[in-house]
Amino acid sequence: MSSLSKTRLSHLKQLEAESIHIMREVVAEFNNPVMLYSIGKDSSVMLHLAKKAFFPAPPPFKLLHVDTTWKFKDMIKFREKAVAQSGMELITHINPDGVAMNISPFTHGSKVHTDIMKTQGLKQALDHHGFDAAFGGARRDEEGSRAKERIFSFRSKKHRWDPKNQRPELWNLFNTRINKGESIRVFPISNWTELDIWQYIHMEKIDIVPLYFAAKRPVVRRDGIDIMVDDERMPIAANETVEQKTVRFRTLGCYPLTGAIESTANTLPEIIQEMLLAKSSERQGRLIDADQAGSMELKKAEGYF
């Protein structure tokens, strides 16, 4: 426990309390909430907070992972372990249309892949299970369009987000009223920054996917970014070579779309040290944001998390 003094809370403890408050509010006010679980560090923190919010009971909702089939193998392994430890039920959804069309980021590009496997897949899963509230691990410091996102973000029946017509959010009084078929996306860690997340993982000793730590991994350099060869589906061109490099990942997603960084940081303090001294922002390793100007904003309007 790290409080500032006997009756003052440190910033991390204040953020923790705020997130717990949000989660309890959702469980108390919605019929069928779910937690989007993406296996990354933010999801790990969100799951940890959920366990705290409902202790000694397990969190009273299910986890949902929208699997694109292109996640790192280590992520899936970690997912199974984390779910087993949580005592919660996991729903894994893979867009069957995408599978039928054989969607691949290598052949269809990141834009089509993300739209079909993530955005459409997510909508299918939410519709199928009739979830009226979905927790997501997005943070406002991640990207421009997120800075104005609400904590309780209203979505139409078609899952659309309208940045010009958001409900004002005052104090910690959240408007949870929706009509049938509409839903709310809830971001309990909105006010956390990347640094907060890492410090909290350190402080609370939260388990994270080993890919965040440096290790020798096979990578191919493409468009100035190191892409890890995680399985045999990755086509290697004649002029490309697979190199063994000591790398790690700052963010995790689909392996063909996630750039590795050369690093030897293999402890949490070293990772945090490296992040603090880094010269580029977290999402730079993510290829999906760079598609077009304001691209995250467009994706969100279409229903992406």
Q: How far is the CB of 107 from other proteins (least distance, A)?
A: 28
298/145 Cα distance (integer angstroms)? 9
Contact 264, 81 (CB under 8 A): no
Does 235 bind other proteins (CB under 8 A)? Our answer is: no
Q: Which residues pair with 260 in a beta bridge?
A: 226
Q: How far is the CB of 277 from other proteins (least distance, A)?
A: 6
Single-letter residue type at 141: D
Does 158 bind other proteins (CB under 8 A)? Our answer is: no
Contact 155, 185 (CB under 8 A): yes
290/125 Cα distance (integer angstroms)? 27
Does 85 bind other proteins (CB under 8 A)? Our answer is: no
Q: Which is nearer to other proteins, 58 or 96 (CB)?
A: 58
Does 17 bind other proteins (CB under 8 A)? Our answer is: yes
| CA of residue 63 relative to chain centroid, distance | 13
Contact 138, 46 (CB under 8 A): no
Q: How far is the CB of 141 from other proteins (least distance, A)?
A: 5
Query: At 105, phi and psi to the nearest 5?
Result: -65, -25
Q: How far is the CB of 281 from other proteins (least distance, A)?
A: 4
Could you say which residues in the range 173-212 bind other proteins, by CB under 8 A? 173, 175, 177-179, 190-191, 193, 195-196, 199, 202-203
Applying CB under 8 A, which of residues 91, 93, 156, 169 lies at the interface with other proteins?
A: 169
Applying CB under 8 A, which of residues 133, 272, 287, 288 lies at the interface with other proteins?
A: 272
Q: How far is the CB of 21 from other proteins (least distance, A)?
A: 5
Q: How far is the CB of 197 from other proteins (least distance, A)?
A: 12
| CA of residue 251 relative to chain centroid, distance | 9
Q: Return left, alpha or beta for 216; rule: phi > 0 is left, psi -120 to 50 is alpha, else beta.
A: beta
Applying CB under 8 A, which of residues 31, 100, 164, 180 lies at the interface with other proteins?
A: 164
Does 21 bind other proteins (CB under 8 A)? Our answer is: yes
Could you say which residues in the range 93-132 bind other proteins, by CB under 8 A? none
Does 170 bind other proteins (CB under 8 A)? Our answer is: yes
Q: Which is nearer to other proteins, 163 or 235 (CB)?
A: 163
Q: Site mask, other proteins, residues 34-73, x = CB under 8 A?
A: -----------------xxxxxxx----------------
Does 279 bind other proteins (CB under 8 A)? Our answer is: yes
Reduced to 3 states (helix: H, G, I; strand: E, B; else coil), residue 230 is: coil
Q: Which residues pair with 90 in a beta bridge?
A: 63
19/190 Cα distance (integer angstroms)? 9
The residue assigned the tokens 């493409």 is 222
Single-letter residue type at 16: E
Reduced to 3 states (helix: H, G, I; strand: E, B; else coil), residue 33 is: strand
Does 229 bind other proteins (CB under 8 A)? Our answer is: no
Does 266 bind other proteins (CB under 8 A)? Our answer is: no
